[in-house]
Amino acid sequence: MTLNPFHSNPSIQQRIFLLFTATAFVIVAAAGVMLRYEVRQSLEAELGHKLEAVAHAAAVQFSAAELEIITAMPGPRTAATVTEALQTLKAATGVQRIYWFATDGRALADTDSSVAPGDLYFHLQFHPGERAAVQQGRSAHSMLFDGVDGRPTMTGFAPLISKGRLFGGVAVDGNASFLGSMRSLERKLLGLAAASLFLTLFLAGILARTLSRPISALSKSAKAIGRGELDTPVPAHGSGELADLSAAMEEMRTDLADRERTLKTMVAGVAHEIRNPVGGMQLFAGLLEDEIADRPAARAHLDRITREMAQIKRIVDHFLDFARPRRPLAEPVALAQLVAEAVELAAPPITDRLTVHIDAAHTAFADPGQLRQVLINLIDNANQATHGSGEIAIETESASPECILIRVKDSGPGIAPELVDKLFDPFFTTRAQGTGLGLSIAGNLMRRNSGRLILKSTGASGTVFEISLPSKPLR
């Protein structure tokens, strides 16, 4: 059963998972974009060279003499002869279109039957660089662009030259097979990226779990040590730095445990040494009381001595509870009855200004004597915080089917912020006659009962301490 409230901040495992996944995703995405760009550039260059080669082939379909006649006397019959040859080349190479054009940009022959000889090719104005290369007697190809049909197109150019004389040029439009290759490549890249991302997520999950589990376990051990739970060894985790950290924490735990045992042994010894003479003093004080019953002044002094010895005995009992806490004997405890007993035993009586909201159905699983002791301590603290004139409230709540909460509230001035972190430290107190062990013992007793005692809130409107306990035996 988990008594701690859910922590909304991302865990170490989540942070490692997100960091590893984000980094891998950026790397895969960047690699995919770069690979796609490089392959696209390579395929575009390959298609451009192919179209230039087809344009060269179309330019040498006729001899120099035939070329001079064709360009000197362009007409339907001449165009038909050239077009027939270009259609044959088009079918053989699988390109989309082949056409001849004069130096002024007018059609000489075209595999597109909708174009007549002499028609002006307006689209050639969008290829100034390629036309300049043709004017210089060189071949060239355009970039990949969207044609009039909306499909990506590329055009290769070659010059029409006879006996060193430039008669015009040849243009070849590439077909859609290149686009199919690109789309196929993109699909493969997307598939590869998806597979890589899935593998990344899988590996990130394993890595995050592998790294976070020992870190979480060490964090849990560190919190237990911070709470003073020094009986459980820190298990060895991982290797390298994690193993060194585990060993260092275990060494720290054993050192603290040794110091605490030494301190508690000393405290217990001193307490016993004080307890014995105090017991004798109380015995003789009782005998002396009968002898001075008729002397009021002496009786007043004796009452003062008796009260001071009771205070010493209470302090000694606190020291012994701190040094040698009894092992809890947990059992189902009806909270309504136990709280009523604690209120009755609290001194001085506060019944006239106490508000109690106890659900009779609430039952906690704890040692009744130790829980009563903790409640008495909290009620006494609340009484002192209100200086005997404020309001005190006790209420219970079912936090979950497995957890019961008990809250003790007061209407006092609250606790100074700089003192909050020291409240449960042994021997820390703000009262002249306090031992500084009350809350430390109470917190330790609740931990031994598989529960928890915390300062829930404090401020000008008062202070709230909260006990959380299991409602049934833990498995």
* 401 preceded by a cis bond (ω within 30 of 0): no
pLDDT for residue 22: 78
In sign, the C-alpha dihedral spanning 189, 195, 198, 200 is: negative
For residues 336 and 358, the answer to whether their CB atoms sit within 8 Å is yes
For residues 327 and 321, the answer to whether their CB atoms sit within 8 Å is no
pLDDT for residue 131: 92
Residues 384, 394: Cα–Cα separation, whole Å = 16
Q: Which of 57, 64, 137 is nearest to 98 (CA)?
A: 57
In the chain, what are the domains?
A: 16-179 (3.30.450.20), 241-323 (1.10.287), 331-470 (3.30.565.10)
Residues 336, 327: Cα–Cα separation, whole Å = 24
Each residue's pLDDT tens digit, 202-242? 777 777 677 667 777 777 777 777 766 677 788 776 667 77
Query: Residue 200's CB: how many other CB atoms inside 10 A?
Result: 19
Q: Which of 59-73, 112-126, 187-201, 381-395 has the highest mean pLDDT?
A: 112-126
Query: Residue 257's CB: how many other CB atoms inside 10 A?
Result: 16
pLDDT for residue 36: 74
Q: State the pLDDT confidence band at 147, using cuts at 50, 70 and 90.
A: low
Mean pLDDT over all residues of the chain? 79
Is the predicted pLDDT of residue 430 greater than 90, yes or no? no
Is the predicted pLDDT of residue 6 greater than 50, yes or no? no
Query: Residue 255's CB: how many other CB atoms inside 10 A?
Result: 11
pTM: 0.46
